[in-house]
Amino acid sequence: EDKVVQSPLSLVVHEGDTVTLNCSYEVTNFRSLLWYKQEKKAPTFLFMLTSSGIEKKSGRLSSILDKKELFSILNITATQTGDSAIYLCAVGDGSSNTGKLIFGQGTTLQVKP
């Protein structure tokens, strides 16, 4: 059964800390890995990764994919209270030809002042 597992499930840090969120996957027909940030209800898109070893970066956030070891990490440097959210990892399932995403459980990040 295809699955996506995120760790840790929750994390509490202080402003200025650096955090690393992990996502591992077992998907038969991998096509892409996506990271989303969910603050209230609507997940908002952060990154899509399809190739190993190529870092994607947006401000203080960066992410990289390892297709050999089947995982991705999301790094957030110099964290701010506004980074508090649930971070969702999802893998595109190519076997269905539908583009549907398989999501992990999410990592809840709380950044304290």
List of residues contacting another protein (CB under 8 A): 4, 6, 31-32, 34, 36, 40-45, 48, 50, 88, 90, 92-94, 96-106
Identity of the residue, 17 or 94, whose beta carbon is nearer to another protein in the bound complex: 94
The answer to whether the bond into 8 is cis (omega within 30° of 0) is yes
Identity of the residue, 17 or 46, whose beta carbon is nearer to another protein in the bound complex: 46
Q: Minimal distance in Å, beta carbon 104 to another protein?
A: 5
Burial class (CB in 10 A: 0-12, 13-18, 19+), 72: buried
Q: Minimal distance in Å, beta carbon 28 to another protein?
A: 13
Contact 33, 23 (CB under 8 A): yes
Identity of the residue, 20 or 95, whose beta carbon is nearer to another protein in the bound complex: 95
Question: What six digits make up the tokens of 38?
Answer: 């969910």
Identity of the residue, 54 or 78, whose beta carbon is nearer to another protein in the bound complex: 54
For residue 53, what are the CA distances in angstroms to 73, 86, 97? 11, 25, 26
